[in-house]
Every structure is written in structure tokens, then in C-alpha cells.
Chain A
Amino acid sequence: MKSRELSLIAMFLSFLVVFVPYFIDVPALDTFSTKLITITAITVSFTLLLAIHSQFKRGFDFVRRKPRGWIFKVYMMITIVLMLLFALGGLETGPYHWAMYAIITPLSSVNYGILAFYLASTCARAFKARNTKSILLILTGFIMLLYQAPFTGAFFDLGPIGIYLANTFGLAAGRMFLISVTVGAMVFGIRILLGQEPGVLGIRSEE
């Protein structure tokens, strides 16, 4: 089980079982491939259960040290257990339902909503027309911001230019990033398959 070679062989074989049937029609292999994918889905779901260990480990380490505010970590660990207990009482009504809509959903929405403030503040400070490139950036940014604000359409129609900027410049940049990221991901994937990234498998380099 500890063998690096065994891990690499297992990885390569499972890769082939999933990759080959997509291009070459072999019915028996196709069925096995589909089952392997389902097994993978179940196994990956198990790894998310590691979250409970990492949160409790972090919490207990913090509480053991008894720094300022350790009671918050105790509260956090209690809430994890509470949510698990609430789920036993049913998901459609009761305390689970209450916790879902009173705590998780509003805090989740606010968690990302705060980014708007940081973005606004950063943009206001950072976007200075220092040179040609920044002037270009600010100009196109202004046109798009005005186009995106629905009320602007009542005064002047920025639709044609806004759509042009989004469907040409925006599209080209998105395409370019997508191609670059895809090539990078593929190269990294092939490196993993060839055993050149042992860290991903949890194998230390000295093994």
C-alpha cells in the first residue's frame, strides 16, 4: 500500500479505464468505466467528511492553548454537532430547517456580498489614468458600467457599444484565458500521470 509504484500504476490504470472508452467503443469496458466513475463519486464524497476532523482538530488545538476568545471555537464545534443532530429530526421542518434559513443562508449571502465593498474601494483607489493602458482600461470600464446600469438606457443607448465590447474584447480575453488554463491543466495532468508530481498523491519526494 505504501509503494509509490503501486499508487502510480493504480492511478494510470484508472485513468485508462475512464479515458479509453470515451474514444473506443468497447461495451464491457464502457460499463466498468461508468461503475468506476460512480465509485469515484462516492469516494470523493467521503473525503469531504474529513472536514469534520479538520475543524475539530483546529478547534481543540485552539481551545487547548486557551488564547483570547477560545470560547468562540467551543461554540463553533457545538454548532457542528447541533447541525448533525438537527438533521436527525428531518430536513423539511424543525430545527434543521430553522438553522438553514436563519443562519446558513443569510450568512452565506453576506459572506460574498462584502466583496462588493472591497472591490468598490479598491477600484476607486487603483484606477488612475496614469498611462495609455490604464486610460484604455478606465474608458472601456466606464462604457460597460454605464451600459450595465439599466437607467442609462433612458438617456442614451449604449447597447451597441456595450454589447460590442463584451462580445469581442471580453470574449477574446475569456477565450484566451480558457485556452491558457486548459493547456496548463492538461500539461499538469500529464505530469501527474507520468509520476512527476508525487506530492499530489501524498508521496514525499524522498520515497
Chain B
Amino acid sequence: MSLLKSFNSYDSRIVYLLLFLIVTIPLLSPMGLPISVSPSTVTYYEVIDALGPDDLVLVVLDTEFSGYMEIQSGIIASMRVMVERDAKMCVAVSHPEATGIPELVFAAIKNTVDEHGYTYGEDYVILGYVFPNEAAVASAAQDWQGVIHNDFYGQSTEGTFLDQIHDWSDWTLISDYTTGIQSGSLINHFGLRGTPMIVNCIGVMISTQMPYLSTGIYQALLQSMRGGAELEYLTGHPGPGMTAMDAFTLGHYMLIVLIIIGNIGYFGTKENSRRNVE
């Protein structure tokens, strides 16, 4: 009986400690559990795989740094594919913390960048924090040359491939990596006007982003860290996503076990079995 009571009313810190250990131990010592690839990731990969040297991609890091920790695998894997296809990338961010992300991503794909001779200014430009609010997104969509003058390093964007951009219609693709900061604005001012969009969002946002996928505004949706890990697997470049899947799997199983234990405790204690409420 005391065991059932303890199942029903245990200290929350036990859950915290369990979760901490279950996540940290596989990260310190990976087990290499297998993963499968979902259809949504395949669709996402097909979109970026179809890019070519004449394509202009606006990569929007629409996330705080915390969100980057979840979707970094998708960002790195996607941008690696874009480099491999020689697509032109313009990297913009919508949160001050995200200004630190491009450096990390390009460091992670440095080998690919060097192999393909991907050059700053010719093949990619980092604009930095240019989408602080919806009005900034809207003005960039309507009059790019009127609002974007310098890159993150203070150099003029004149003379780069961005000279070809005047409004939303000049982009081949908007690739949004989002925790929801300006994703709505990008949809309203780029996607709704017909600019193709793909998105890699955090898990919390999946259900709210799916309606846009079904209306055709998004061409594809990469789902959270798992989608990023699947993309790494699909592209043959294991990275932070695949490494994290052991911890990811065990975390999910732990929650299932805890819910079952909680219910055993709930039904096992006499008071609760008499007070079942409809």
C-alpha cells in the first residue's frame, strides 16, 4: 500500500533528477539507437534538394538561442544541402540572440563550404538582425533595396547577389527556422504573396503550423529535433540531431512510465478509487 501511495504522491525532484540523468547519460555516452525517416522529412529534403546555383534563398533564423538548441540539427543539415547545391543564401535573423547562430552553423559546415568554394558576398551574405518586428518584415518584402543596405559586418550589400532582390517575388525560397517570432509575418508578407516557404519549427509549434502546410503556404515542414535528425540521416551527415536521439527516445519512454506509475498509484489507493469522477 505504501508503494502505491508513493506512486501517487512523490517528490517532483525525483522526476527532475530522473529526467536530468536520462538525458545527460546518453549524451555523455551515446548508444547509437536506430531511427526511421518520416514522410514530412522526405518532402522537406526534396524541396531543398531541388535547389540550384541560380536560386536565391532567404534563410530566416527566426529563433532565440534556446530554440536553436532544439532545431540546430535541421538548420545545419539544411544549410549544408543548400551549400552543396550552390544555392545563394541570405541569412537574416529576427531575434538579437540569433545573431550568434550563423557563426556556429558555418563553423559546423566549414568542410562543405570549403569543398564547394562557397564564398561570402558571392554565394552567401549574413545580414544579422533585420527583422525586429512585423513592419520590418513587411517593408523588406515590399522594398528590399529601400531597407537593406548593410550586412551584419557593416559592409554594403551592393555588388552582392542581393542586387537582384527588389521584393518578395525575387526569392526562390524562404527557409524559416522558427520558434514563432516572425513566422506569422513571413507567412503574411511573403508566403501569402506566393513566395515558396519551408519551415523547421520547434515541437510546440507543430500543430499550429500544420494548417499553413495544408493550405499550401508551406511546401514542407520539418518537425523539431527529430526532423533534423532524420534529415541528417537522409543526407548522410550525422550531427547533433542523431547524437541526441538516444536521450530523446529515453525521455519519451520515461514520461510514459511516469504517467503509468501515476495512474497505478491513483487507482491503487482506496480513497481515489471511491471518488472516481465522470
Decide if A and B touch, CB cutoff 8 A: yes
Residues of A within 8 A of B (CB): 34-35, 37-38, 40-41, 44-45, 48, 91-92, 100-101, 104-105, 108-113, 116-117, 120-121, 123-125, 127-132, 138, 141-142, 145-146, 148-154, 157, 159, 163, 166-167, 170-171, 173-175, 177-178
Find the A residue at minimum CB distance from B69: A109
What residues on A are CB-neighbors of B6 within 8 Å? none
Q: Is the CB of B33 within 8 A of A151?
A: yes
B226 at the interface (CB under 8 A from A): yes
Find the B residue at minimum CB distance from A181: B208
In the A-B complex, the 9 residue pairs with the closest CB atoms: A150-B35, A124-B258, A112-B66, A153-B36, A41-B135, A149-B252, A41-B136, A174-B207, A40-B135
Q: Is the CB of B133 within 8 A of A45?
A: yes
Chain B stretch 90-108: residues in CB contact (< 8 A) with chain A? 97, 99-100
Q: Is the CB of A148 within 8 A of B226?
A: yes
Chain B stretch 208-248: residues in CB contact (< 8 A) with chain A? 208-211, 214, 226, 229, 245, 248
What residues on A are CB-neighbors of B33 within 8 Å? 150-151, 154
Q: A150-B36, A154-B34, A170-B207 are in contact. Are A48 and B256 (CB under 8 A)?
A: no
Q: Within the assembled complex, what's the spacing in Å between the Cα atoms of A163 and B229?
A: 17
B146 at the interface (CB under 8 A from A): yes
What residues on A are CB-neighbors of B267 within 8 Å? 129
Q: Within the assembled complex, what's the spacing in Å between the Cα atoms of A121 and B211?
A: 30
Find the A residue at minimum CB distance from B203: A148
Secondary structure at chain A's binding surface: helix, strand, loop or mixed?
helix
Q: Is the CB of A45 within 8 A of B259?
A: no
Q: Is the CB of A149 within 8 A of B15?
A: no
Q: Within the assembled complex, what's the spacing in Å between the Cα atoms of A173 and B66?
A: 26
Q: Is the CB of B226 within 8 A of A150?
A: yes
Q: Is the CB of B254 within 8 A of A163?
A: no
B38 at the interface (CB under 8 A from A): yes
Find the A residue at minimum CB distance from B68: A109
Q: Is the CB of A117 within 8 A of B15?
A: yes
Q: Within the assembled complex, what's the spacing in Å between the Cα atoms of A32 and B33?
A: 58
* Least CB distance, A42 to chain B, in whole angstroms: 8
Contacting B254 at CB < 8 Å: which of A104, A120, A142? A120
Q: A34-B142, A41-B133 are in contact. Are A128 and B262 (CB under 8 A)?
A: yes
Q: Is the CB of B147 within 8 A of A121?
A: no
Find the A residue at minimum CB distance from B278: A131
* Least CB distance, A78 to chain B, in whole angstroms: 20
B159 at the interface (CB under 8 A from A): no
